[in-house]
Amino acid sequence: MENKTKEFKHLEKWQKTLANCIRCGYCYEHCPMFKYTGWESDAPRAKIITAFGLLSGEVEPSESVSQKMFSCFYCKRCEAACSSGVALTDIFTDAKKDLVEMDLKGPGTTSTTKLTCARCLICLKACPHEARSYDGKNIVVDPVKCQACGICIEVCPAGAATIQNSFGTDRNMLMDRASNFFSTHEAAKAIIFACNWSYYPDLQASVLPDAETRDKNYEILVNMCGGRLEPQLLMAPFLYNAWGVMAAVCPEDKCDHKGNVRAKKTIESLKNTFKSIDIDPERVRLVEIKAGDKAKFKAEIDTFMDNLNKMGPIR
Ligand code: SF4
Ligand code: SF4
Ligand code: SF4
């Protein structure tokens, strides 16, 4: 490997690890980026090959390389699937540090702030990664620290916090999908929100058209993190006469973004609202599913749907 490492002082330490990637490709089929775009250049394996190329000098640092390297949700599904134990996201982070020092800052999935920002600083407190700060005039986002969890987007009262490409996880897109499900499925009863971390394996099934049947009575909508389950999104299905809404998040100690804690509080608050207006609070339910536990996820859905069938529609 040609030594150009002086330009990549953070990435340099991964030189040997990068060579451990055997290009098996187990990682990319688990990556929500790849699922969404279908481009292998958006997949984790491509990022590792790019990092390798940056170190060897075969790949020139450029805006397009930076754009790809910064396009990651840090869901770590690639790491869970990797056959060689490569610490992919740590490598991406160090590549990002080097690129930032070359003034190449993505933005990829780094959150940004629009001019409509009211400087309320709510997003600063909400960011689980201390990626947002206030320089006295504007909100500044640290592109290395930002892990694209999207929590700032959901808490921003001015709609100013945003991510350049949400890769299908945008709140409005999910609300449109919920609306579309209820308008096209006569038997529609519920929406199941599933955090990409806690429940990945059926993401593909949830987006492929051939998985659709008109007599489906629930739809699984995959969001990037439980922390993005704000009341507006959770309540949207009830506008379309949903019987209930369930949300699957990671177990308490397993969420890097503490999104599950936020989701728990939001659901508790919705339950209290339901109680106060004489609606059974069990129509909103939160379940904890550890990464990839498909059997538990299915069992929880079955229990939830059984309960909804006993309750019937909201009158
Ligand atoms: S952490 Fe997630 S989004 Fe990022 S490359 Fe890995 S699988 Fe893809
Ligand atoms: S809340 Fe999430 S998306 Fe927003 S700046 Fe922090 S890490 Fe990035
Ligand atoms: S929450 Fe929104 S309006 Fe408030 S400081 Fe952050 S980006 Fe600006």
Quick one: DSSP state of residue 166? -
Domain regions of the chain by residue span:
5-101, 111-163, 171-311
Q: Are 291 and 197 in contact (CB under 8 A)?
A: yes
pLDDT at residue 5, rounded to an integer? 42
Mutate to test the pocket of ligand 3, among 117, 146, 162 (most ligand atoms within 8 A of CB): 117
* Any ligand 3 atom below 6 A from CB of 158: yes
Residue 208 Cα distances to 202, 205, 211, 224, angstroms? 10, 5, 6, 18
DSSP-derived 3-state class of residue 246:
strand
One fold for 5-101 and 111-163: no
For the CA of 115, the nearest ligand: 3
Domain covering 111-163 in this structure, CATH number: 3.30.70.20
Could you please state the CATH topology (level 3) that the domain comprising 5-101 is classified under: Fumarate Reductase Iron-sulfur Protein; Chain B, domain 2 (1.10.1060)
| Residue located nearest, by CA, to atom 2 of ligand 2 | 149
> Which two tokens mark 122?
């709510």
In 3D space, the residue among 78, 102, 97 whose CA is nearest the CA of residue 89 turns out to be 78
Q: What is the pLDDT of residue 1?
A: 46
Distance 110 CA to ligand 2 centre (A): 8
From the CA of 161, the nearest ligand is 3
Which structure tokens are listed for 183? 């308008």
pLDDT of residue 214: 55
Query: For residue 71, how many C-alpha atoms fall within 13 Å in the half-sphere facing its CB?
Result: 26
Q: Is the CB of 75 under 6 A from ligand 1?
A: yes
Does ligand 3 come within 6 angstroms of the Cβ of 120?
A: yes
Q: Residue 258 has what pLDDT?
A: 82
Which of ligand 2's atoms lies nearest the C-alpha of 109? 3
Predicted pLDDT of residue 131: 97
Residue 34: the pLDDT is 87
> What is the position in ligand 3's atom list of the atom closest to the CA of 134?
5
Q: Could you tell me if the CB of 82 is within 6 A of ligand 2?
A: no
Task: Give the span between the Cα atoms of 305 and 315, in whole angstroms.
Answer: 18
Cβ–ligand 2 distance for 132 under 6 Å, the answer yes
Q: What is the pLDDT of residue 2?
A: 45
Ligand closest to 46 (CA) is 1
CATH topology classification for 171-311: Rossmann fold (3.40.50)
Instruction: Supply the pLDDT for residue 302.
Output: 93
Residue 111 Cα to ligand 3 midpoint, Å, equals 12
Residue 209, C-beta contacts closer than 8 angstroms, at least 6 positions apart:
none
Pairing between strand 244-249 and 190-195? Answer: parallel
pLDDT in tens, the chain (315 residues): 444 445 899 999 999 899 899 988 888 877 888 888 889 999 999 999 999 999 999 999 999 999 999 999 888 888 888 889 999 999 999 999 999 999 999 899 999 999 999 999 999 999 999 999 999 999 999 999 999 988 999 899 999 999 887 777 788 888 999 999 999 999 999 999 988 766 554 444 444 334 445 568 999 888 878 888 889 999 999 999 999 999 998 888 877 788 888 899 999 999 999 999 999 999 999 999 887 677 888 899 999 999 999 999 998
